[in-house]
Amino acid sequence: MIIKDDLKYSNEHEWVKVTGNKAYIGITDYAQNALGDIVFVELPEVGTEISAGDAFGVVESVKAASDIYSPVSGTITKVNEELIDSPEIINEDPYGAWIIEIELTDPSELDELMDDKEYEDFCLKEG
């Protein structure tokens, strides 16, 4: 299981990478491994406002479909359109295959998320 030390993590197995006032959100290595081969990603509309905890899309694998939840609040400014034709890149590089980019409305929400060590402990307890 790969866990990067420069990201924040949610208990729904999403990761957040912050650059300035933007946050990139994807699913973790743990999540993609649990799902298996990803065959479809449902992306939200650019311009959609989301709150922390809101579902914003769906990842479907050969095993199951799973909602993707936003760990932080903001407005969706970009979606990774590469995932429409190549959803399997999430399996190949879960931390490179971001799903959405949002403009943060409350950066303090990042303080509620786990760092790499806390997320590793969380996964070990779940697994």
For the domain covering 8-106+115-126, report its CATH number: 2.40.50.100
Closest CA to 25 of 65, 86, 78, 84: 78
Domain ranges of the chain: 8-106+115-126
Say how many C-beta atoms besides its own lie within 10 A of residue 54's C-beta.
14
Kindly report whether the global pTM for this prediction surpasses the value 0.85: yes
- Mind listing the pLDDT tens digit for each residue in 27-72? 999 999 999 999 999 999 999 999 999 999 999 999 889 999 999 9
